[in-house]
Amino acid sequence: MPSFDLVSEVDMHEVTNAVDQANREANTRFDFKGTNSKFEQNGTVITIDSQSEFQLKQLVEMLQLKLTKRGIDILCLSLSEPDVAGSRAKQFATIRQGIDSESCRKVVKAIKGSKIKVQGSIQGDRVRFTGKKRDDLQQVIVFCKKMELGLPLQFINFRD
């Protein structure tokens, strides 16, 4: 029986490369000279640090641009509220990976409601769809792409 997995994964090596590129650009840009603006990555959390909230917004846009150029969907980026204290502003960006159980149930319920003849099973942070026909699975892929989950979705392990 044909099957595939619906996942939300991010290549952390590419995230590290994007953060390094954004750091290099922040160090060389004229409008950030002497501000000690920087990005620090600790696992899946990226700390953005600058002098003012305006510069912080520019750094966030710079990071999003670098992530996009590296092929990473910025939907995986979860930004916290800016923390402005004295002469420093700080913000945290978290890289979200995996599909949470609530979203998994939502996807499976929507597929069952669409009357496509496939079975969806939740396996941790991924959903496996199996069906008798390859065409049914392709309909599920199209249906999932149209859904608004707020997560970047990938379709892997397609087996015939």
Both 65 and 32 in one domain: the answer is yes
Q: Which band of pLDDT confidence, cut at 50, 70 and 90, is reported for residue 15?
A: very high
Asked if residue 103 and residue 91 are part of one domain, the reply reads no
pTM of the entire structure?
A: 0.84
pLDDT tier at 33 (50, 70, 90 boundaries)?
confident
Q: Please give the pLDDT value at position 160.
A: 81
Quick one: how far is CA 49 from the chain centroid? 21
> Which residue range(s) make up the domain with 132?
3-8+98-159
**Model confidence over 42-66: pLDDT tens digits?**
999 999 999 989 999 999 999 999 9
CATH of residue 80's domain is 3.30.70.990
Q: Which of 40, 73, 95 is the last residue of a domain?
A: 95
* AA letter at 86: G
CA distances from 65 to 7, 12, 18, 69, 80 (A): 23, 16, 9, 6, 18
Report the domain count for the chain: 2
- Is 35's pLDDT higher than 90? no
For 10, left (φ over 0), alpha (ψ -120 to 50), or beta? beta
pLDDT at residue 5 in the model: 92
> What are 125-156's pLDDT values in tens digits?
899 999 999 999 999 999 999 988 888 888 99
Are 98 and 154 contacting, i.e. CB atoms less than 8 angstroms apart? no
Look up the CATH number of the domain holding residue 131: 3.30.70.860
Q: Is there a contact between 122 and 104 (Cβ–Cβ < 8 Å)?
A: yes
User: Are 28 and 63 members of one domain?
Assistant: yes
How high is the pLDDT of residue 22? 95
Looking at residues 15-23, what average pLDDT do you find?
95
Residue type, 130: T
Write out the DSSP string of 12-65: HHHHHHHHHHHHHHHHH-GGGTTS--EEEEETTEEEEEESSHHHHHHHHHHHHH
| Cα angle for residues 76, 154, 147 (degrees, 5° grid) | 75
Q: Please report, rounded to a whole number, the percentage of residues in the chain having pLDDT higher than 90.
A: 69
135 and 69 in a common domain: no
CA R_g for the chain: 20
Cα separation, 130 vs 109, whole angstroms: 15
